[in-house]
Structure 1
């Protein structure tokens, strides 16, 4: 008769492995995020949207609304003057 894989009071090494993989995955993802943060290149100074001039005229570049600010910084960098010195 075959013995049970784990006897009462014993722990399984495979259980330890199963627990380690998610932990290792979290550490790996954290390392990737840090590497990305320190090696990210500056955004190119250009507009991604054709509606940027209209947004500028409607005051969206100077909006106090954080959603518009984020949208303008992402899509209308040149028109809204979000570019820094040295960017194309």
Structure 2
């Protein structure tokens, strides 16, 4: 998953400018900020070696790919893997 603490002031400002909202809203599950998520994906892709990538190019990507880019799908996979393995034994009742 992407380390949010590694974002620079310029990157945070870019995300806020592109999304039109505070960076604090990215983690708000009550009111998800889709443009903020896509802006974060732009920053990640630029860091990965595509510094000229445009926001409109990222907006054309499906949400599933954005989730892969920012690492949101990794949490789901880890949670699923944690449930694998030996089944817990049922508790005994008196």
Same fold per superposition (TM over 0.5): no
Q: TM-score, normalised by structure 1?
A: 0.25
Largest Rg, 1 or 2: 1
